[in-house]
Structure formats: C-alpha cells, structure tokens
Structure 1
Amino acid sequence: MTTGRNKRRSTPRRALTSVTTAALAGVLTSVATAALAGALALSVSGSVQAVPKAATPGFLVAKDMPQAAGNVWTAGKVTAGAPEWDPFCLEKVLPAQGTTWHRQFGTDLDTGGVQVSVQAASAAAAKKLAAAAEASVAACAADWLRATPGGTASWDDYGRIAVEEGARVIGVATSIPDSGPGVHLLGIGRDGDTVTIVTWGQIGNLSHAPVAAFKKTTTTAVNKLR
C-alpha cells in the first residue's frame, strides 16, 4: 500500500518538474533570443549612424568667375574626389585628408580654373589644411624656380578677405624661354570644417590678373560653403 501511494504521488511530481523545466527553458530561450535580436538591431543601427554621409558644400557657378570681354565661362559638374591634376602650386597639399569635391571651369579662349573643397575631420584640421595651402602657394614661385633652370617667376600677396574664418588671395606668374608666360590667382578660404580653394589662370603676367574680380569670386566661394 505504501509503495503504491508513493508511486501515485511521485508521478505528478516528475511531471510537474518536467513541465516546469520545459517552461523555464522556453522563457530563457525567448529572453535570450530577444536580447540577441536587440543587440543585433543596436549594432546595425549604431554602425549606420557612425558613418554619416558628408553633405556636398555649395560651389561656384560659371557666372561667379571673373568676367572679361570675349571670355564665356562654362562649369563642369561638381564631382566627388580631387581633380585629375593637382592645381598649380598645390601639388604638395592636395589631395588632402577628408572628403573632397571639385568643379572645373573653362572658357573658349586660354583662361581656366578649378574649385576644390575639402571637408576635414574638424575645424582645427581644416584650419591646418588652409594654413598649409597658403604656405604652399606663398612658396610656389621660389619652388618653381629651383625646379626650372632658366625660368623666371614672381608672386604677389593680395592680402586677406574678411569672410567667415578668412580667406587669402595670392598671384603667381611663371615663364620659361621660348614659351608664353603664365599667370595664376589662387584663393584659399575656410568656413568651419571645410576649406575651399579657387584657382584662375591664363597666358600673361601679374599685370593681367583680375585681382579685384577674383577676390569677389573667392568671397562668393567661401560664402557658398554653407
């Protein structure tokens, strides 16, 4: 009798234990699955947010370039990346670290230009890049002479422009024997973490450079960054 009662009493206990264990395992599995799904969702969401897409800064258009009789400017597309050829005097600076865009400008005569904008990692990095660009352009004439025996070169600093964090315009002229002289204007400006560089060039010397008009072009370029 006692044995029978024990058997009848022990069977429900084993069943209860089995049911309880299965239920607990199911709950734990559900919790673990939910936690894993949440972690994966957070990981995916975090990875997307960690790589924000840089917004393309504003660029000059054809009418913003220095106008001259007989010169009709055309503008290429705003293109991601640096130009195929580094702008004159900036070969040691570009391409630069950061996100870069550029736009080419040309005329049906001998005048051309390019605008390059670089979004740096921070305002401090942009300030450093702008300073490096200015230093490279200021040293360009002397560097070109050392690399070009028999050539002549001159430059002029046309000063700073009070726009955003500031801009600077410099002119560089070069000439080699049996070849026409070339003159370039370069404007370097910054707004926050973005640096923009505008160039203008044609056959001629510094006396042919449209400095006042190019300063307006540089000012417009910096103002369009935001």
Structure 2
Amino acid sequence: MNCIRTAAVTAAAVGLTIASFTSATAAAPVAPKFLSASQLPASISPWHADPVQQGLPDSGSVCTEGIAPKASSRYRDFRTELDTGARQTTTVASSEARAKALAAKLRTAIEGCLERLKEQNPGLEGEAFYHGKVNVEEGAHVYSIDTSHPEVGSTDIGLYSVGRDGRTVTVLEWGQMGELDGAPLEGFKKTAQVSVAKLY
C-alpha cells in the first residue's frame, strides 16, 4: 500500500515538474529575426552579414545614436567589398505604447539629422527626403539623406527606415558613396518591408 501511494505521489510530482517546465518554455519570449545578406538591396559585389550582436554598436549610427535603449536592443552589420554598408538595429520595448513612442522618436531624429550634420560639419551640403510609408504590420517609414562636401569633393547617400511590429521596432540603415539617383531606393523599400515582416 505504501509503495503504491509513494509511486502515485512521485508520478504526480514528476507530472507537475514537466508541466511547469512546459509552461516556462512556452512563456519564453521569441527573439525577433534579422535580415540575411541575400535580403539586402542588390549590389555589384556580394553582401556579407556579421553575426547578430547584443546591445548597441560602439560606433553608433550617425542619425539615431543614443535613442534606443542598449539593454533591449540587438544589431547586425552588413558590408560589401566596395564602400557600401548597412545595419539593422532591433529593439523590443516593454509595451506597445513605448514601442510606438520609440519609433516616433527615431523618425524625428532621422528627419532632423541633416541639419545636425551641417552644424557639426561646416561646409557640408545636402538634401533629405521622406519617401513614404511601406505597408507592413504597423508600417515602415523610409528616408534618404544625400550629402556632399565641395571642399573635400566627397558625396554620400544614406537610406533609412523605421519599422514597427507590436512591441518591436527595427531601424535599417544603408549607405555608400554617391548620390540618391544612384541608390537602389525601390530595392531598399522592399528590404525595409522584409525587415519588419521577418521579425516574427
């Protein structure tokens, strides 16, 4: 009788442990996915993707540095053999309202980025444009910043998107030497759409 009762208690305890483990596993948050190198806009030379890193990069993004919280962010850098690079940064906020506020703050930072760059670099010239909203989840907003420094003789073009899916915000940055008319804007819009759609 005692053996039967002990076996029953043991079985119940094991069942409870398994149930607790299953519940904990089910409750574990799913980390958002990142773009792969093949999903970047077409380039003359192949894209290479670095591993996804925790936090924020030491060399911050020019337009959005210091805005996203480091503890809840991850990023991935992409590069080609030419002077073309890209970065995706993803932040998971504690609530959808905070994610919405973060996305708005990032968009404002990009919209004012050219003026800040001009203040920091006397002689810098440029144009900034908003290229509209890509229809995916809560949307992805696309921007371009075209800069030149006549004294140095350099021209650079940067494309940016800020997208959101629920509590998750992702920022995509792409840059190379050249001007807007030589940038893959339509390809970047498609990549921006994928960057949000692929998160979950």
Same fold, TM exceeding 0.5? yes
* Counterpart Cα distance in 2 of 1:136 and 1:198: 14
Task: Check if 1:89 corresponds to 2:63.
Answer: yes
Shift of 1:125: 0.3
* Residues 108-123 of structure 1 aligned to structure 2 (within 5 Å): 108-123=81-96
Shift of 1:53: 5.9
**Equivalent residue, structure 2, for 1:188:** 162
Q: Which runs of 5+ in 1 are unaligned?
A: 1-44
CA offsets 1:149-193 (integer angstroms, 9 cap, x no match):
111121111110111011100000122221421110001100000
**Equivalent residue, structure 1, for 2:128:** 155
Task: Check if 1:136 corresponds to 2:87.
Answer: no
- Choose between structure 1 and 2 for higher RCO, CA contacts under 8 A separated by at least 6 residues: 2
* Counterpart Cα distance in 2 of 1:181 and 1:165: 33
**Equivalent residue, structure 1, for 2:138:** 165
CA offsets 1:63-93 (integer angstroms, 9 cap, x no match):
000002x221000111111122111211242
Counterpart among 173, 189, 199 of residue 199 in structure 1: 173
> What SS does the aligned partner of 1:181 have?
strand
**Equivalent residue, structure 2, for 1:63:** 38
Larger of the two Rg values belongs to structure: 1
On the 8 A contact 1:56/1:101 being kept in 2, the answer is no
On the 8 A contact 2:74/2:91 being kept in 1, the answer is yes
Larger helix share, 1 or 2? 1
**Equivalent residue, structure 2, for 1:72:** 46
Letter in 1 for 2:39: D
Q: Considering only aligned residues, what root-mean-square deviation do their CA atoms show, in Å? A: 1.7
> What SS does the aligned partner of 1:200 have?
strand
Percent of residue pairs identical: 36
Counterpart among 144, 147, 161 of residue 174 in structure 1: 147
Task: Note closer, same or farther for the CA distance 1:147–1:219 as it changes in structure 2 (3 Å cut).
Answer: same
**Equivalent residue, structure 2, for 1:12:** none
On the 8 A contact 2:55/2:70 being kept in 1, the answer is no
Q: TM-score, normalised by structure 1?
A: 0.73
* Bigger Cα displacement from structure 2, 172-181 vs 206-215: 172-181
Letter in 2 for 1:87: S
> What SS does the aligned partner of 1:215 have?
helix
On the 8 A contact 1:98/1:119 being kept in 2, the answer is no
* Counterpart Cα distance in 2 of 1:209 and 1:90: 21
What is the aligned length? 175
* Counterpart Cα distance in 2 of 1:98 and 1:195: 14
Larger strand share, 1 or 2? 2
CA offsets 1:94-136 (integer angstroms, 9 cap, x no match):
4x26511111100000100000000011000000000011111
